[in-house]
Amino acid sequence: MTRHILRRGRRAAAIAGAAVVAVSLAACSGGGDGGGDPTADGGDQSLTVLMISSHEGASTWLADEYKKKTGVTINPVIVPYDEIGSKLALDQQSGADTIDVAAPWYVSLGDLASDGAIQDLTDWVADTPDIDTDDFIPSIWEPYSQVDGKTYGLPFDGDTHVLFYNKDLLAENGFDAPPATWDEYLQQAKTITENEKDKGIYGAAIFGQKSPLILGASFANRLAGFGGEFLDADGAPVINSPEAVAAAQSLVDINDYALPTPAETDFGAGNSAWFAGKVAFIENWTDLGVRSQDPESGSEVVDTWGVVTLPVGGDNTKTRASLVAGFSWVIAAHTKKTELAQDFIKWAASSEVNAALLTALPPTGIDPNRKSSLEDATYGEEFPEIQEVNRATLDGALAWPTGKNATEAAQVLTDELAKLLAGDGGTAQEALDRVQATWEELLGS
């Protein structure tokens, strides 16, 4: 599976065309600030764009390309992934108003809208057909953009979790295929840890640090696998269902066989162990495969890794994607550059840009947001296994709640899971019963 470095002149031309078309259409149609070409009014031709640390590589690529095509300067502001929502809200509520555009966790859209920190994009999106909302992956479009029937964002980073495995470690320990169920996953991880831990090798890396984007993601992966939901069809919490309890118990069961210490394992620690060949399994975003296959990024697992959809559990036999940490483009409520911001996020959410970011070097950490970019020829040629598992998002996916109080609800769940894993939360049923009671207060019942 050696990576092919392809000529990308045709792709660069397509991206250039997308940027030029975007600016030209803005000149014809006008925008929130009164019409005209947003890059030609002689004013401040720059945007301050708030992004997370994992997207720093993408921010550099976007700034370079947008400057090249439009002359507009993008000034990225990089913050930790768990601070971007509060940073944007504080900036807008305090009157500082330094941010024009941001790419927060999609779960925070409802709270940001309720706080008056982001613009309602409904009319603009409806009046801008070349955004082509039908091309966004359907299971991603709604949670990454909609709150109470209104549009507040455009999907940026698809971010679905899958299961990566080290082929050599599995083979050396007698396994000829990766696990299809969470029970098989536990057994394989247990065997590998018992056989290899004296060499500093473990069956799995478990992201267990107390953050919704970390420990919450590990739980969501299992909730998807066991066929559970966060909310029922009417929007009421069902976080203490039998499927959810089984998912939480599955997370408890793997702890003893995971890279020490799960409660302290964040993305940096888990990924470092994976790239060093020290863990057999890691649940991660599909873009991990791009870096795994890039020796210049420090990977020691080039050509020795594989990837499959998340395992299933209990009575569930259908694999399902887990949208644990996707990110959306939003426009700050008080920016004086609405038209320029619209032009930028339309371009940055386009198929051409997303496809380019999927295979860019250095890796950008971006996953597919559109059906067309998912099926991009370069992506398929360089990373066919990743493309295939990403197709799981086309057939439904588990998404977090996104309405008002959703951010707090995610933290409540994470806090209870952390206590459960530490042995301080009683049983999985008891822990999730407490979450259910709080969620009913926060989200309604």
* pLDDT for residue 227 is more than 80: yes
Specify the amino acid at residue 79. V
pLDDT score, position 314:
97
CA distances, 229 to each of 145, 235, 236, 399 (Å) = 20, 10, 10, 8
* pLDDT for residue 24 is more than 50: no
SS (H, E, C) the chain: CCCCCCCCHHHHHHHHHHHHHHHHHHHHHCCCCCCCCCCCCCCCCEEEEEEEHHHHHHHHHHHHHHHHHHCCEEEEEEECCCCHHHHHHHHHHCCCCCCCEECCEHHHHHHHHHCCCECCCHHHHHCCHHHCHHHECHHHHHHHHEECCEECCEEEECCCEEEEEEHHHHHHCCCCCCCCEHHHHHHHHHHHHHHHHHHCCEEEECCCCCCCCCHHHHHHHHHHHCCCCCECCCCCECCCCHHHHHHHHHHHHHHHHECCCHHHCCHHHHHHHHHCCCEEEEEEECCHHHHHCCHHHCCCCCCCEEEECCCECCCCCCCCEEECCCEEEEEECCCCCHHHHHHHHHHHCCHHHHHHHHHCCCCCCCCCCEHHHHCCHHHHHHCHHHHHHHHHHHHCEEECCCCCCHHHHHHHHHHHHHHHHCCCCCCHHHHHHHHHHHHHHHHCC
* pLDDT for residue 397 is more than 60: yes
* pLDDT for residue 165 is more than 90: yes
Give the integer Cα–Cα distance in Å for 328 and 348. 10
Beta-ladder partners of 307: 164
pLDDT-based confidence at residue 445 (cuts at 50, 70, 90): confident
pLDDT-based confidence at residue 441 (cuts at 50, 70, 90): very high
pLDDT-based confidence at residue 123 (cuts at 50, 70, 90): very high
pTM of the model: 0.89
Give the integer Cα–Cα distance in Å for 341 and 360. 24
* pLDDT for residue 290 is more than 90: yes
Token pair 């870096």 is found at 291
Backbone angles phi, psi at 420, to 5 degrees: -60, -45
CB contact at 8 A, 205 and 398 = no
pLDDT score, position 30:
35
Backbone angles phi, psi at 198, to 5 degrees: -65, -20
pLDDT score, position 13:
44
pLDDT-based confidence at residue 29 (cuts at 50, 70, 90): very low
CB contact at 8 A, 329 and 313 = no
Specify the amino acid at residue 35. G
More confident call, 321 vs 25: 321
Per-residue pLDDT of 327-386, as tens digits, reads: 999 999 999 999 999 999 999 999 999 999 999 989 999 999 999 999 999 999 999 999
Percent of the chain with pLDDT over 90: 86
Q: What is the mean pLDDT of the chain?
A: 91
* pLDDT for residue 257 is more than 80: yes
More confident call, 42 vs 26: 42
* pLDDT for residue 132 is more than 90: yes
Q: What is the CA radius of gyration of the chain?
A: 22
Backbone torsion region of residue 298, taken as left when φ is above 0, otherwise alpha when ψ lies between -120 and 50, otherwise beta: left
* pLDDT for residue 23 is more than 80: no
CB contact at 8 A, 241 and 296 = no
pLDDT score, position 178:
98
Residue among 182, 186, 209, 198 at smallest CA distance from 278: 198
pLDDT score, position 297:
86
What the chain holds in terms of domains, given with CATH numbers, is 9-159+326-395 (3.40.190.10), 161-323+405-443 (3.40.190.10)
State the average pLDDT over residues 290-307: 94
pLDDT score, position 15:
52
